[in-house]
């Protein structure tokens, strides 16, 4: 079973997991970390210990590309069985919970990128919407 | 070379720097000064990849940074980053002239105590900061351009030591 780790600014990740569990029930092996007050080495170390415990691989989600969460993850995941996805959204985490038992890491990762992108759309206004 | 901002930040290049300070100051280049990162091409690529392509990025050792500062006759407006007060002090002592230094990201860690809101320092950090003040450098803590600017003074360092 692939493990998941959501690394974000503030409590974003923890709150996203709370919502995922409201919808899907408990998701063992899916955890969150915040970069609040953490130096880069400290954050990297915490990510490294989560990765070490994930025997069938770790999928890491971060909130933005170019932030300390992503940099810390890249530094921590060097040489490990892990994939890193930036721009986490709720759809990706729900898809992760649904498919983590079925798919190996690389396939799961690709699937979640598509799911995340497809979740972003503009709801085209119909005459009824404009009142 | 002109320093539009010299900042101590143990996260180096991240959102507060790229989105916060770069958007406000619009530097020509980011110069990350760190011996360990500069010696590892892979780490260099990790940090460089987190900068929008419009900014030039250089990741250099302390020696190379000081040499560049000494020899460069260009007019690049540079945002200079080090990970610790000790590295910033090293540069100043090597001839990098800085009027002021932004004490940006010094995060909590074992053995470090809070000096100003969000700024943590141990004895070695405090010593280096005191030496920077003694060298005539103005120190101020400020995370991003819109945040309050707190002067970091000799009195404050002395209070923290006692």
Q: What is the ipTM of this complex?
A: 0.78
What is the Cα–Cα distance from A84 to A68, expressed in whole angstroms? 14
Determine contact, residues A34/A14, Cβ cutoff 8 Å.
yes
Contact yes or no for A66 and B10 at CB 8 A: no
Best residue of B34, B50, B59, B121 to probe chain A, by most A CBs closer than 10 Å? B50
The lowest-confidence range among A6-15, A120-129, B139-148 is A120-129
Q: Grade residue A45 by pLDDT with cuts at 50, 70 and 90.
A: very high
State yes or no: pLDDT of A130 exceeds 80. no
Out of B14, B42, B108, the one facing A71 most closely (by C-beta) is: B14
Q: What is residue A74's predicted lDDT score, i.e. its pLDDT?
A: 96
Measuring CA to CA, which residue among A11, A40, A37, A10 is closest to residue B108? A37
Task: Please determine, looking at this structure, whether the domain spanning A3-118 carries the CATH number 3.40.50.510.
Answer: yes
What tens digit of pLDDT does each residue of A71-91 get? Answer: 999 999 999 999 999 999 999
What tens digit of pLDDT does each residue of B110-149 get? Answer: 889 999 988 999 999 999 999 999 999 999 999 999 999 9
Q: Grade residue A125 by pLDDT with cuts at 50, 70 and 90.
A: confident
Mean pLDDT of A80-108: 96
Contact yes or no for B15 and A67 at CB 8 A: yes
* DSSP category for residue B150: E
Q: What is residue B1's predicted lDDT score, i.e. its pLDDT?
A: 82
State yes or no: pLDDT of B162 exceeds 80. no
User: To the nearest whole percent, how much of chain A has pLDDT over 70?
Assistant: 99
CATH architecture of B2-161: 3-Layer(aba) Sandwich (3.40)
Q: Is residue A37 less than 8 Å (CB to CB) from chain B? A: yes
How many CB pairs lie under 8 A apart between chains A and B?
46
If you average pLDDT over every residue of chain A, what do you get?
Answer: 94
Nearest CA in chain A to B43: A75
Determine contact, residues A6/A69, Cβ cutoff 8 Å.
no
Q: Is residue A104 less than 8 Å (CB to CB) from chain B? A: no
Q: What is residue B161's predicted lDDT score, i.e. its pLDDT?
A: 74
Out of B11, B15, B18, the one facing A40 most closely (by C-beta) is: B11
State yes or no: pLDDT of A102 exceeds 90. yes
Measuring CA to CA, which residue among A129, A96, A128 is closest to residue A113? A96
Mean pLDDT of B24-37: 95
Measuring CA to CA, which residue among A47, A80, A65, A6 is closest to residue B19? A65
Q: What is residue A66's predicted lDDT score, i.e. its pLDDT?
A: 82
Determine contact, residues B141/B103, Cβ cutoff 8 Å.
yes
Mean pLDDT of B28-47: 96
Q: Grade residue A26 by pLDDT with cuts at 50, 70 and 90.
A: very high
Mean pLDDT of A30-54: 94
Between residues A126 and A23, the one the model is more confident about: A23
Smallest Cα distance from A70 to chain B, Å: 9
Best residue of B11, B20, B45, B120 to probe chain A, by most A CBs closer than 10 Å? B11
Best residue of A7, A12, A40 to probe chain B, by most B CBs closer than 10 Å? A40
Q: What is residue B157's predicted lDDT score, i.e. its pLDDT?
A: 92
Contact yes or no for A39 and B11 at CB 8 A: yes
Out of A37, A40, A67, the one facing B108 most closely (by C-beta) is: A37
State yes or no: pLDDT of A38 exceeds 80. yes
Residue B56 pairs in a beta bridge with: B29
Q: Cβ contacts (< 8 Å) between A65 and chain B: which residues?
A: 50
Q: Grade residue A50 by pLDDT with cuts at 50, 70 and 90.
A: very high
Q: What is residue A65's predicted lDDT score, i.e. its pLDDT?
A: 83
Measuring CA to CA, which residue among B134, B135, B117, B115 is closest to residue B126? B115
DSSP A26-60: --TTEEEEE-TTB-HHHHHHHHHHHHHH-TT-EEE
State yes or no: pLDDT of A110 exceeds 90. yes
Query: For chain B, what are the domain ranges?
Result: 2-161
Q: What is residue B12's predicted lDDT score, i.e. its pLDDT?
A: 93
Q: Cβ contacts (< 8 Å) between B51 and chain A: which residues?
A: 66
């Amino acid at each position: 079973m692939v493990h998941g780790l959501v690394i974000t600014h503030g409590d974003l990740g923890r709150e996203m997991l709370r919502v995922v569990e409201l919808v899907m029930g408990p998701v063992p092996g899916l955890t969150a970390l915040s970069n609040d007050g953490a130096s880069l080495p400290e954050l990297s170390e915490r990510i490294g210990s989560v990765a070490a415990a994930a025997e069938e691989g770790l999928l890491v989600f971060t909130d933005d590309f170019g932030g300390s969460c992503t940099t810390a993850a890249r530094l921590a995941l060097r040489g490990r069985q892990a994939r890193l996805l930036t721009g986490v959204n709720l759809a990706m985490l729900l898809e992760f919970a649904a498919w983590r038992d079925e798919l190996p890491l690389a396939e799961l990762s690709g699937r979640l990128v598509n799911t995340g992108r497809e979740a972003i759309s503009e709801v085209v206004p119909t005459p009824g919407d404009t009142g | 070379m002109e320093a539009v901002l010299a900042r101590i930040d143990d996260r180096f290049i991240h959102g507060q720097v790229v989105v916060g300070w770069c958007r406000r100051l619009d530097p020509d280049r980011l110069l990350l000064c760190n011996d360990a990162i500069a010696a590892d091409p892979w780490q260099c690529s990790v940090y460089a990849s987190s900068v929008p392509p419009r900014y030039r990025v250089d990741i250099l050792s302390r020696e190379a940074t000081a040499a560049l500062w000494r020899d460069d006759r260009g007019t690049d407006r540079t945002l200079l980053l080090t990970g610790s007060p000790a590295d910033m002090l090293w540069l100043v002592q090597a001839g990098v002239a800085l009027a002021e230094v932004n004490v940006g990201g010094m995060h909590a860690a074992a053995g470090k105590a809070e000096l100003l809101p969000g700024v943590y320092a141990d004895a070695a950090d405090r010593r280096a900061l005191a030496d920077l003040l003694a060298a005539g450098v103005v120190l101020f803590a400020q995370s991003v351009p819109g945040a309050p600017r707190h002067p970091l003074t000799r009195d404050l360092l002395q209070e923290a030591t006692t």
